Structure 1
């Protein structure tokens, strides 16, 4: 009976630890999603890695953090954001991804985000806006 209690305590501890770790993983996405909903390029740029791969309907390239912010700001200026809806998000091998729909004045864009843990923070490494 005592062994079963110890096993249950360990399982409960591991479950709590897993939930805590997942809340940190999703916390970065929560702020990124809020930035997308607001069309706020500077808030989004706080999560950019040193280089960011950006896919837009007419171009696809890798940019420095500062260049990426300008590209995203221009995209949001030309496509005023109405909303962002998450369709799916998950985690695999230390990387997180989110797929959603960015609703703008000029139509909807299927949006894919890829983040990776770097040290103690999450970095946005790739953003795709596809129509």
Structure 2
């Protein structure tokens, strides 16, 4: 009887531990979202990562030249920018919002330093990137 009780306690402890580990790993996976994905894509100069979130129309301002572009045009503009300006680092210095999110950071590239602002807006059931501003420092 004593052996059976010990076996049950060990099995129950193992099940509880496995459940706790599973719950913790699930929480870690749910931390990343569109905002974090966009920050990661900026840090890598990854236009494909950014394009996943581009709205159908995106306002892009590079060095004071602003225009509204279709998603396809925005991808071309961003590919051109990041091909001429390889990312060295991106430091997010300010962020905010809940249903709409924004981030402001310092982008260091091979072609110069920029203050980068981006805006994500809830549209339907997802977040879309609808504005990017690259201001020369």
Q: Within 5 Å, give how 1:66-77 maps onto structure 2.
A: 66-77=72-83
1:48 aligns with 2:48: no
TM-score w.r.t. length of structure 1? 0.77
Q: Within 5 Å, give how 1:1-131 maps onto structure 2.
A: 27-57=33-63, 59-91=65-97, 94-131=99-136
* Number of residue pairs aligned between Structure 1 and Structure 2: 108
Q: Distance in 2 between matches of 1:114 and 1:58?
A: 17
TM-score w.r.t. length of structure 2? 0.74
Deviation at 1:58, TM superposition (A): 5.1
Q: Distance in 2 between matches of 1:80 and 1:126?
A: 20
Query: What is the RMSD computed on CA atoms of the aligned residues?
Result: 1.7
Larger-gyration structure (1/2): 2
Deviation at 1:108, TM superposition (A): 1.0
Runs of 5+ in structure 1 lacking a partner? 1-19
Runs of 4+ in 1 over 4 A off after TM superposition: none
Runs of 5+ in structure 2 lacking a partner? 1-26
Q: Distance in 2 between matches of 1:42 and 1:74?
A: 13
1:75 alignment partner, SS class: helix
